[in-house]
Amino acid sequence: MTDIILEIKDLFKSFKDIHAVNGASFKVTKGTCFGLLGPNGAGKSTTIEMVEKITSPDSGVILYKGEKLEKDYLNNLGVQFQQTALPPMLTVKESIEVFRNLYPNPKSLEELITLCQLGSFVNQRHDKISGGQRQRLLLALALCHNPELILLDEPTTGLDPQARRHLWDIVRDIKSSGKSVILTTHYMEEAFELCDEIAIMDKGKIIAKGTPKELLSIHFKNSIIQIPPGKTYDEIKSRSDLGEIHIKDHLLEIHTENLNDTLKFLTTLGLDLTGLNIRHSNLEDLFIHLTGKELRS
């Protein structure tokens, strides 16, 4: 049986009349990545702050390895914030050494450099490196004390695709070493690639929970046909018998369980098939399906 490293039970937190977290419950198992998804204001950040012991819940319980959070819990927790102020004028290597010296039994400098792919710029000043390099440095700092549970708060926001995938590789290495990760992200491809399980939050509540593939298979049995604007655009929009129809990113999307029949009908309209695309439902479709709004709202 897989060990539960962190368990959240019926967590509530309010700020005056705003119910930021409203009965959230989930479990994180050892050696996995757990994704916490939702738009701004959904309650993700408040939930993470309670896990970090920055703020206390109004009610509910947070358990680490089956026990309430004790003083030494933070020694087993690593956090990569979106922004972290570092001492000025230091190189990447010197910055890591400053943080390593805060702990009695830190990971070796060489191990951190290798794990977080810092070797090519380790002697550069930390204020002179790229955004992707800085995120890898911040991750190395979060791992200095060899924590068992790592919280990553939107770690790839603003990074280019190559830098984002470098960080994905590091997260996979962290998981393979038996460590556990809680990830918040707005990138649905990232959640699908990295997360063994996800919880989707909206208005302080967890509205769906499971593996990405499980959730998609439960909620969707259809294919999505994307059609760019054209002569047949308005005619298709009026056909309620085709299935669920949305307009997204200036494309008309038909959600259909009868792909062949729908395609046959579209050909009768003289539609230029070079402008047509077929895709499967993804996590963003799931969130819109459950809440009626986009994850980035």
151-160 pLDDT, tens digit per residue, is 998 898 888 8
User: Which residues are bridge partners to 247 per DSSP?
Assistant: 252
For 210-225, what is the mean pLDDT?
Answer: 85
2-58 pLDDT, tens digit per residue, is 599 999 999 999 998 899 999 999 999 999 999 999 888 889 989 999 999 999 999
> In this structure, which CATH number among 3.10.450, 3.30.70, 1.10.357, 3.30.450 belongs to the domain 222-280?
3.30.70
Element (H, E) at 100: helix 92-100
CATH 3.30.70 residue ranges in the chain? 222-280
Judged by phi (left if over 0) then psi (alpha if -120 to 50, else beta), residue 253 lies in beta
User: Which residues are bridge partners to 253 per DSSP?
Assistant: 226, 246
Single-letter amino acid code for the residue at 133 = Q
Q: Given the DSSP bridges, would you call strands 33-37 and 197-202 parallel, antiparallel or unpaired?
A: parallel
Q: Nearest 5 degrees, angle CA 256-CA 257-CA 258?
A: 90
Element (H, E) at 37: strand 33-37
What is the distance between the alpha carbons of residues 252 and 275, in angstroms, rounded to a whole number? 11
Domain range 4-216, CATH architecture: 3-Layer(aba) Sandwich (3.40)
133-180 pLDDT, tens digit per residue, is 999 999 999 999 999 999 998 898 888 889 899 999 999 999 999 999
Determine how many CB atoms are found less than 10 A away from the CB of residue 4.
15
Place of tokens 């509540």: 205
What is the distance between the alpha carbons of residues 48 and 24, in angstroms, rounded to a whole number? 11
Two structure tokens written together for 135? 């995120």
Instruction: Supply the pTM of this predicted model.
Output: 0.83
CA 219 to chain centre: 20
